[in-house]
A = this chain, B = another copy of it.
């Protein structure tokens, strides 16, 4: 702790006071001179303390008055619309999503990007850099053979044990032997889909859904049947029932129950139960992608759909990429009655994962520091989401609508007057700003006038200015 700069120590002191409620929203922060007197620090340190907390979104400066604990404004901004769930979904489509995404990526590379809002990813400073590094150093020193010994089948026992133990809190009763470690949730989804479907088959997915899933389906020659999905409660069970009655070739349903990407919706438990039952009755495997669950602002952990699985019909997939460390590509799955099949496919696809990431993760996740990290991560992300939402309400032209997810790293924006997000994408590039246009999240053109904005970056003056310019660009696009 002593290696920290002095201002950081006092900034943390006040941060703890804010989080503990000793300083409430709207309260005045001690003045710069007050801080100097109270803590015996220099003028520059006292100023740094306030500026640091301001840049992290905990304080706001009021001219000639001083710093105050921020009070999130009530936003005069409407939520994004609910979908029409009574219409029959379009037949499964296949439109070359990879080519579409590649075009956006290629365009992005032609411009000097100063603000990347297209990702769905926390900045490195949100993650426990030092603690993870120390865990990694420790395990390498402790076990010299780690790099020269072939890794264990299905994953490191220590890691699988930690995962199985933590899964109790989301309603899963599994042992280490039920856990298959994968390269991120991406590989888990690949294995789950390959276990249940053949090229040409149809897979029901949320609409909109994250483009990574559409790319996986395309790469496996599977077709996506897009089911209307609520920005509040997730996939529409009614619409899915209708689709299942209409199309008899649906081989799996893939859902992201918690903080769905891009909507941010969270399925109510009653929906989860009905979905598990529906899939079981119809004999359709349900693939649950719980990549974002740990980022939800819930007093208790959100229960997995698999908690309602009675027949091993749910394949549960998760990832530590967004919650523990973006530099470690660790995912895992537990596949019920398909466990042996996904294990075979994993072995044939990439063999077992290397052990050092797994053991490093196990070492850190076994500590109470991991839960502290998760609380800090959620708190930082909330501030970043709120500040981004405020900036959009302030800087964007009237008519803009916004999702208000209770957790996660992104916001889903509906542009005014059905403005094309591809037009906005092109115009924003000129400003050095990268956004994710809505057309990346569907094979249809239904989300052409939406875009997804990353909130994983610490809120800064530069970011605020970028959002101001993005709002001006929206206004400009509406005029031309």
| Interface pair A183/B350, CB less than 8 Å apart | yes
| Interface pair B148/A326, CB less than 8 Å apart | yes
| Interface flags, A100-112, vs B, CB<8A=1, else 0 | 0010000000000
A94: Cβ under 8 A from any B Cβ: no
| Interface pair B348/A190, CB less than 8 Å apart | yes
- How many A residues touch the partner, as a band? 35 or more
How many Å lie between the Cα of A132 and that of B148 in the bound state? 8
Contact A351 to B147, CB < 8 A, known contacts A98-B344, A140-B136: no
Contact A144 to B121, CB < 8 A, known contacts A187-B350, A221-B198, A348-B216: no
List chain B residues, Cβ under 8 A from A133: 140-141, 144, 146-147
Nearest Cβ on chain B to A46's Cβ, whole angstroms: 28
| Interface pair B127/A148, CB less than 8 Å apart | yes
| Interface flags, A171-188, vs B, CB<8A=1, else 0 | 000000000000110110
A283: Cβ under 8 A from any B Cβ: no
| Interface pair A327/B348, CB less than 8 Å apart | no
A90: Cβ under 8 A from any B Cβ: no
Nearest Cβ on chain B to A36's Cβ, whole angstroms: 32
A397: Cβ under 8 A from any B Cβ: no
How many Å lie between the Cα of A198 and that of B132 in the bound state? 42
List chain B residues, Cβ under 8 A from A190: 348-350
List chain B residues, Cβ under 8 A from A183: 183, 350-351, 353
How many Å lie between the Cα of A344 and that of B351 in the bound state? 20
A416: Cβ under 8 A from any B Cβ: no
Residue among A144, A183, A212, A357 with most chain B CB within 10 A: A183
- Which residue of the partner chain, among B128, B147, B151, contacts A148 with CB atoms under 8 Å? B128
| Interface pair A350/B329, CB less than 8 Å apart | yes
| Interface pair A149/B349, CB less than 8 Å apart | no
List chain B residues, Cβ under 8 A from A137: 137, 140-141
Nearest Cβ on chain B to A183's Cβ, whole angstroms: 4
| Interface pair B328/A354, CB less than 8 Å apart | yes
| Interface pair A147/B121, CB less than 8 Å apart | no
List chain B residues, Cβ under 8 A from A225: none
List chain B residues, Cβ under 8 A from A328: 147, 354
- Which residue of the partner chain, among B132, B149, B151, B194, contacts A329 with CB atoms under 8 Å? B151
A74: Cβ under 8 A from any B Cβ: no
Nearest Cβ on chain B to A444's Cβ, whole angstroms: 20
How many Å lie between the Cα of A72 and that of B349 in the bound state? 41
- Measured CB to CB, the nearest residue on chain B to A344 is B98
28 intermolecular pairs with C-beta atoms under 8 Å apart: A98-B344, A127-B147, A127-B148, A128-B148, A129-B144, A129-B147, A130-B144, A132-B147, A133-B140, A133-B144, A133-B146, A136-B140, A146-B327, A147-B327, A148-B325, A148-B327, A149-B326, A183-B183, A183-B351, A183-B353, A186-B349, A190-B349, A215-B348, A218-B348, A219-B349, A329-B350, A329-B352, A356-B356
Contacts A327-B354, A329-B354, A354-B357 known; 12 new A-B pairs at CB < 8 A: A130-B144, A133-B147, A148-B327, A150-B327, A183-B351, A183-B353, A184-B351, A186-B349, A187-B350, A194-B219, A199-B199, A328-B354
List residues of chain A with CB under 8 Å of any chain B CB. Answer: 98, 102, 119, 121, 124-125, 127-130, 132-133, 136-137, 140-141, 144-151, 183-184, 186-187, 190, 194, 198-199, 212, 215-216, 218-221, 325-329, 344-345, 347-357, 360
For the complex of A and B, list the 7 residue pairs with the smallest distance between their C-beta atoms, beginning with the closest: A127-B148, A219-B348, A183-B350, A147-B327, A150-B326, A124-B148, A215-B348
